[in-house]
Amino acid sequence: GAVVSQHPSRVICKSGTSVKIECRSLDFQATTMFWYRQFPKQSLMLMATSNEGSKATYEQGVEKDKFLINHASLTLSTLTVTSAHPEDSSFYICSARGTYGYTFGSGTRLTVV
Partner 1 sequence: DAKTTQPNSMESNEEEPVHLPCNHSTISGTDYIHWYRQLPSQGPEYVIHGLTSNVNNRMASLAIAEDRKSSTLILHRATLRDAAVYYCILLNSGNTPLVFGKGTRLSVIA
- Applying CB under 8 A, which residues contact partner 1? 4, 6, 31-32, 34, 36, 43-46, 49, 91, 93-95, 97-98, 100-107, 109
For the CB of residue 60, give the shortest distance to partner 1 in the complex, in Å.
13
Q: CB 48: neighbour CB atoms within 10 A? A: 22
Question: Please, what sign has the CA dihedral across residues 38, 44, 48, 50?
Answer: positive
Q: Which is nearer to partner 1, 86 or 100 (by Cβ)?
A: 100
19-25 vs 4-7, strand pairing mode: antiparallel
Q: Which is nearer to partner 1, 48 or 81 (CB)?
A: 48
